[in-house]
Structure 1
Amino acid sequence: MPNARAPHLTRRGLLAASGALGLGVALTACGGEKKGDQASDAKAGPWEFKDDRGQVAKAKSTPENIVAFTGTAAALHDFGVEVKGVFGPTYVEDKAKGTKTPDVQAGDLDITKVEVLGNVWGEFNVEQYAALAPDLLITDMWEKDALWYVPDQSKAKILKLAPSVALWAADNSIPKVLQRHVELAESLGADVKAKKVTDAKAAFEKAAARLRAAAKAKPQIKVLIGSASADLFYASTPGRPTDTLYFKELGVNFVTPAKLDAGGWFEGLSWENVDKYQADVIMMDNRASAIQPDALKSKPTWAELPAVKAGQVIPRVTEPIYSYEKCTPILDDLAKAIENAKKVA
């Protein structure tokens, strides 16, 4: 994962520096029986799922009160599984207008119909979570056993309330990660053989073939993965994130930074040195936490980059929603960019 969300202290520290809120929540009464039809629960039988930590989550019946990281919830939604609550970037608030619009990581979720337990790094309302009587917590995992957007300071309290599932969001390419989401969705009752899903998978495979063909036709086109903050440009490695790892497998010619951070994710460059790595196409982090290209026009070193001057800068879906439906446009967009790219660096 590139940039301001570096794993370990780097990833978390940068997030905190960008304005993540502290939790500061004390867990109060969390007891009481969960609501539901005991007869139907018994009929459903026991449920279990082995996650990517190697841990087995178990329940007496298929979980219904599900709380998930926003991007994971969006993926489950595409497979036909709905959640009761979410945490992580869910909405972008315009305080002047008093409006909230869905964050890119919310996908097609109706954000007015889910409980938002936290919208920024470090924010997770434990009392609100307990009140949902959760059956299952689901999130991503960028580093072994590190639960994405589950705050360390309240993690123990959170994990006592329900079983948890963590799925890799790094170090495996998109098809493998997609398959794990399919398996989880199926265990939760999704019909993964429905026409909607099989058609989406076929479209994904077609888009992958298109990207492979584009990369093969233009092997000279170099692609740089970037993310911007006020002080630094993060040039990211293609070797760990699921998306770029897959693009690399399909033949895309990536620039690999020479001096990666301790977690092996990115090299931070001052804006004076942003031209250290030349590329024909630049993929820029599309998350709300990153400064977007339109806001970088005032930086002269950015404006002078060959890819910028040529108009060959495209958004990068840095944290993909792992459904076939949402991953297909990612492949198509990069294929189109390479197909249309001119050699400028």
Structure 2
Amino acid sequence: MAVGLGLVFALAACGSGTETAPAASGSPAASSSAAGPWTFTDDRGKKIERPERPARVVAQVGAAAALWDFGVRPVAVFGPHRLKDGTRDPQVGNVDITKVESIGNVWDEFNVEKYISLQPDLLVSGMYTGDTLWYVPEKSTSTIEQVAPTLGVRLVGKSLPEIIGKYGEVAAALGADLNAPEVTAAKARFDAAAKALVTPETKNLKILIMSGGPEMMWVVNPDDHADVRYFKELGLDVVVPDKVDEAGFWETLSWENADTYEADVILVDARTQSMRVDEMMKKPTFAKLPAVKAGQVYAWHAEERYSYQGYADVLEKLLADLVKAKKL
């Protein structure tokens, strides 16, 4: 699948394994006192300098949701946060969308004029491909970067705990307290859920993780998705595709080849841009798969927010689904 709009349709979050605690405020990467100069070095190696700690932060919804759970309150968001019926998109996490401005809700929608009017101090976004900021339109990048510094968090090639830790580091630099009870409690939940996920029974299940579209389906390449890579490193038996697309992240298959990989369980991309399972069931080759016939198809929460709260929920829900499944 091509990078760009294709990634929007089928891209997800990524992962590996070693626990990395969030760096404290005042680490070599950041200086975060409320008064005086503020600096932070992001995952592009870019040193960001401000006369004082940024107070007016605009963030892509994934970054906004992660920062929110660590205690940072952005003034505006962009990327999927409101569904067609006006309710919250799951990707926005715990962000109160009634209290933040919206400067864009879909791919390639970024209201530059509104962004300028908000007088932002900093823009924060994740990065899936190179140094490209997720959901920041390439055509507007130069203008956006003239308004305020941008901060990028790399979402591939790192472990899931490491990415969560990086967002914690950003939050701490922006004044959040990483020792707040809700943060430490969430980390304890995350650690417990990770430890509980793999049992002799769940370890014995072959798991296919995928996204779907009208003409094609995409099989996750674990190396390029921090969460799936983490599931695998914890000990789950996740399908690794044989022919990963040139852009990475997936193997693209026609629906006629839906049976390329055997699986006891199928996890399907639950984002709004992916085909729903009831629509996939209209594809005969999908409907006849053993896991589908056995009712062992569950949600994969791609692009979950990179916070301990977000992934504690994911890991607990995944375990609850897997314990219902059986080896086929």
TM-based fold match above 0.5: yes
Shift of 1:160: 1.0
Shift of 1:339: 2.6
Q: Secondary structure at the match of 1:93?
A: coil
Cα distance in 2 for partners of 1:166, 1:317 equals 22
* TM-superposition CA deviations, 1:304-342 (whole Å, max 9, x none): 111111111111111120111111011122223333321
Cα distance in 1 for partners of 2:208, 2:7 equals 22
Contact 2:42 2:153 in 1 (8 A): yes
Q: Secondary structure at the match of 2:132?
A: coil
Q: Partner amino acid for 1:76?
A: L
Shift of 1:155: 0.7
* TM-superposition CA deviations, 1:58-85 (whole Å, max 9, x none): 1111111110001111111111110111
Q: How does 1:133-144 map to 2 (within 5 A)?
A: 133-144=119-130
Give the match for residue 17 of structure 2: none
Shift of 1:131: 0.4
Cα distance in 2 for partners of 1:322, 1:71 equals 7
Shift of 1:297: 2.2
Cα distance in 2 for partners of 1:333, 1:238 equals 19
Q: Partner amino acid for 1:257?
A: P
Q: Partner amino acid for 1:339?
A: V
Cα distance in 2 for partners of 1:58, 1:127 equals 24
Give the match for residue 247 of structure 2: 263
Misfit runs of 4+, over 4 Å: 15-18
Give the match for residue 295 of structure 2: 311
Structure number with larger C-alpha Rg: 1
Shift of 1:272: 1.2
5+ unaligned residues in a row in structure 2: which ranges?
11-31
Q: Partner amino acid for 1:58?
A: E
Give the match for residue 178 of structure 2: 192
5+ unaligned residues in a row in structure 1: which ranges?
1-5, 19-40, 95-99
Contact 1:15 1:121 in 2 (8 A): no
Shift of 1:17: 8.5
Q: Secondary structure at the match of 2:229?
A: helix
Give the match for residue 71 of structure 1: 62
Shift of 1:236: 1.3
Matched, 1:58 2:44: no
Call closer, same or farther: CA 1:16–1:199 in 2, change over 3 Å: closer
Q: Partner amino acid for 1:313?
A: V
Shift of 1:217: 4.2
Q: Give RMSD over aligned pairs.
A: 1.8
Give the match for residue 269 of structure 2: 285
Cα distance in 2 for partners of 1:69, 1:17 equals 17
Q: How many residues align?
A: 307
Call closer, same or farther: CA 1:66–1:340 in 2, change over 3 Å: same
Shift of 1:15: 5.6
Matched, 1:205 2:191: yes
Contact 1:124 1:150 in 2 (8 A): yes
Give the match for residue 237 of structure 1: 221
Shift of 1:218: 4.0
Give the match for residue 23 of structure 1: none
Give the match for residue 14 of structure 1: 6
Q: Partner amino acid for 1:220?
A: N
Q: How does 1:1-345 map to 2 (within 5 A)?
A: 10-14=2-6, 44-94=35-85, 100-212=86-198, 214=199, 216-344=200-328
Q: Partner amino acid for 1:279?
A: A
Cα distance in 1 for partners of 2:6, 2:33 equals 47
Deviates more, 1:251-260 or 1:108-117: 108-117
Shift of 1:11: 2.9
TM-score (norm 1): 0.85
* TM-superposition CA deviations, 1:229-284 (whole Å, max 9, x none): 01111111111111011111101111111111112211111111111111111111
Cα distance in 2 for partners of 1:155, 1:48 equals 21
Q: Secondary structure at the match of 2:125?
A: strand
Contact 2:206 2:263 in 1 (8 A): yes
